[in-house]
Amino acid sequence: MRTKLAQKDFPDDEIEACLQFCSEKGYINDERFALLVVKSQVSKGHGVNRIQQVLTQKGITKLICQQVLFDTEYDWFALAKAKAFKKYNGRPVADYKEKAKRIRYLLGQGFRYDEAQYALDENT
pLDDT above 70: residue 123: no
User: Which sign does the torsion angle of CA 40, 46, 28, 2 carry?
Assistant: negative
pLDDT in tens, 55-109: 999 989 999 999 999 998 999 999 999 999 999 988 888 889 999 999 999 999 9
Query: Is domain 76-120 in CATH 1.10.287, yes or no?
Result: no
Query: Quick one: pLDDT at residue 24?
Result: 85
Q: For residue 124, name the pLDDT band (cuts at 50, 70, 90).
A: low
Domains of the chain by residue range: 2-71, 76-120
DSSP string, the chain: -HHHHHHTT--HHHHHHHHHHHHHHT---HHHHHHHHHHHHHHTT--HHHHHHHHHHTT--HHHHHHHHHH----HHHHHHHHHHHHHTTPPP-SHHHHHHHHHHHHHTT--HHHHHHHH-TT-
The pTM of this model reads 0.82
